[in-house]
Amino acid sequence: MQPVSSKLLEKRRLLPENTWHFASKANSVPLTVSEFAIAAREMPIVFTDPGENVGETPFPVCIMGFRPGENLMIEGGSGRWKGGDYIPAYMRRFPFITAQAGQGSDGRQQLVIAVETGRASEERISKPTATRGDLLYDDQGRATKVLEQRMAFCEDYYRETVMTQELGRLLVKYNLLEKRSADLELRSGEKHTMRGFLMVSDKALSGLSDRAVIDLQRRGFLSAIHFHLQSELSWQRILNA
């Protein structure tokens, strides 16, 4: 990746989001809490299992395929999104990403917006000679409104990610997660079991203390947990993709 600059993006344009080839091998992508309500109608939401990795926190992801390297929400040849009305913010932010750049003099984490230089960049950013798409810098080397909006989107996404990490920590604190698997029958008739993920336990959730419930509610996480549980109904939607 390279930091966003007029030198890097001079005369280059942001191309329309018509294809998603760069994500076609991802069978899941991260999801933030603010996305749960709408994403739950389209895709199952589960939590990663850190296993024995000390210091790692479970993080929500949306399931888009059942095998490694398989994304059933993206059409193989055309790269067209066919997963319904909602495309995860993790994918929409590309080719721009947020990177940490150390701490500032005030002790706060400094961020830098960078350009991912792989397939996503090739798919979203034009050659300097192109006429299709929206310019990222004007003739004076100033960021256009299009670029400013995309950078703001990345900053918002980073803040949402930090908040979502807090959800993972609280689910661990209140012992709400359990290992789960999904037994699936694919359209071909083949049976497949998907393992290695966590979900909130209905039993543990119903047994929470009033204090814990209030804590989750106050942080806005209780509704997110219910959307997560409702998303179990979306396994069939993936099977039918």
Token pair listed for 165: 């990490």
Residue 12 · residue 136 · CB < 8 Å: yes
Neighbours of 72 (CB within 10 A): 22
3-state SS, residue 119: helix
| pTM of the predicted model as reported, rounded to 2 decimal places | 0.89
Instruction: Output the tens digit of pLDDT for each of the chain's 241 residues.
Output: 889 999 999 999 999 988 999 999 999 999 999 999 999 999 999 999 987 665 689 999 999 998 889 999 999 889 999 988 899 999 999 999 998 776 666 667 788 999 988 888 889 999 998 889 999 999 999 999 999 999 999 999 999 999 999 999 999 999 999 999 988 877 777 788 888 999 999 999 999 999 999 999 999 999 999 999 999 999 888 877 6
Token pair listed for 8: 């890097």
| Whole-angstrom distance, CA of residue 22 vs CA of residue 1 | 15
3-state SS, residue 30: strand
Give Cβ neighbours of residue 52 (< 8 Å, ≥ 6 apart). Answer: none
Whether the CA torsion 160, 200, 55, 174 is positive or negative: it is positive
